[in-house]
Amino acid sequence: MALKDHLRELRNRLLISCAAVVLCAVAGGFLYDWIFSAIAEPVLSYAADDESRQAAIAFNAVGQPLDMLVRSQCSLSIVISSPVWLYQIWAFIMPGLRKTEKRYAIGFIAASVPLFLAGIWLAYTVLPQAIQFFFALNPEGTTNFIAPDVYFTFVLHLFLACGAAMVLPVVLVGVNMMGLVSGRQILRSWRWVVMLIAVISAIAAPGGEVITMFIIMAPLCLLFGLAIGLTLLLDRRKSKRQAQDPTFA
C-alpha cells in the first residue's frame, strides 16, 4: 500500500475512533452522578469513620461543576468506547501481518478490553487505602478540602496506570508477532520488569501493607509470565515454519 493510502486509512481509523468516543461521552452523561459518588466515597468515608477527621471535596469556582461533568464524560467515554478504538488500532496494524497471524487480532481485542477494565477495578479497590495513607500524613490541626479537579486527576492517573499495566502483556505479544522483539529478549528483561511491577504495586498500595502489594503484584507478574510463554511458543512455531519453508520470513 502506498504512503498516501496508509495516511488515508489512518485518518479513517481516527475518525471512527473519535466518533465512538463522542457518542459514548454523550451516553456517559447519564452516569455522572453515580460515577462521582463512587469516586468521592473514599474521601467522604474517611471523615465519616472518625468524627475528629475532616475531609471533603469542595468546589471553589462557579463553573467547576460543569468542568467536572465534561472531564468525567470524556474519561468514561474512553473506557466505554475501548472495544472500538482498540479494534481500529489492530485493524490498522493487521495489513502488516501474515494471514495466519491476522486471526489473533480478535483475540487481542477480546483480551485487552477485559484486562483494561480489570486494571481499573484493581485501582478502585486500592483507592480507599491510598486515600487513608495520604490523609494520615496531615500535620496536626489540618484538614482535607480537596478541589474536585485535583482529586479527579489523581484518580484518573491511578486508573490509567493500572489499566495500562494490565494490557502491557498483550502489547508484548503483539510486537513479538510483528517481529519487533523476540521472546528470548523479553525473557532476558524479566528482572527489570518484575522490579518495575513491584515499584508500581508499592505505590498503588502505600502504607507498608505488604499483603495488598502482593495482591496487586501477583496478577501483573502472572500476566507477564503468560506473555513470555506465548511469545516463546510463537517464536518456536515460526522457527519450525522457516525450517520447513525457507521462503517463510
pLDDT, one tens digit per residue, over 16-41 is 888 988 888 888 778 788 888 888 88
- What CA–CA distance (Å, rounded) separates 225 from 173? 11
Contact 187, 104 (CB under 8 A): no
State residue 103's pLDDT score. 64
| Residue 249 predicted with pLDDT over 70 | no
State residue 228's pLDDT score. 84
Percent of the chain with pLDDT over 70: 82
State residue 225's pLDDT score. 84
State residue 56's pLDDT score. 82
Report the SS3 class of residue 147. coil
State residue 106's pLDDT score. 67
Q: From start to end of the chain, where are the E strands?
A: 55-57, 144-146
- What CA–CA distance (Å, rounded) separates 218 from 122? 12
Contact 114, 167 (CB under 8 A): no
Average pLDDT, the chain: 77
What is the pTM assigned to this prediction? 0.68
Higher pLDDT, 48 or 43: 43
Contact 222, 215 (CB under 8 A): no
Q: How many CA atoms lie within 13 A of 9 on its CB side?
A: 14
Higher pLDDT, 98 or 167: 167
State residue 42's pLDDT score. 85
Q: What is the pLDDT of residues 122-142, one digit of tens each?
A: 888 878 877 877 787 777 777
State residue 91's pLDDT score. 72
State residue 212's pLDDT score. 64
Q: What is the pLDDT of residues 48-94, one digit of tens each?
A: 766 667 788 888 878 888 888 888 788 778 877 877 887 787 777 66
Q: Take residue 167 and report the three cell numbers written for it.
A: 494490557
Burial of 205 (0-12, 13-18, 19+ CB in 10 A): buried
| Residue 205 predicted with pLDDT over 80 | no
- Please report which confidence band the pLDDT of residue 105 belongs to, taking 50, 70 and 90 as the band edges: low
Q: How many helices (H) and strands (E) does the chain have?
A: 10, 2
Report the SS3 class of residue 57. strand
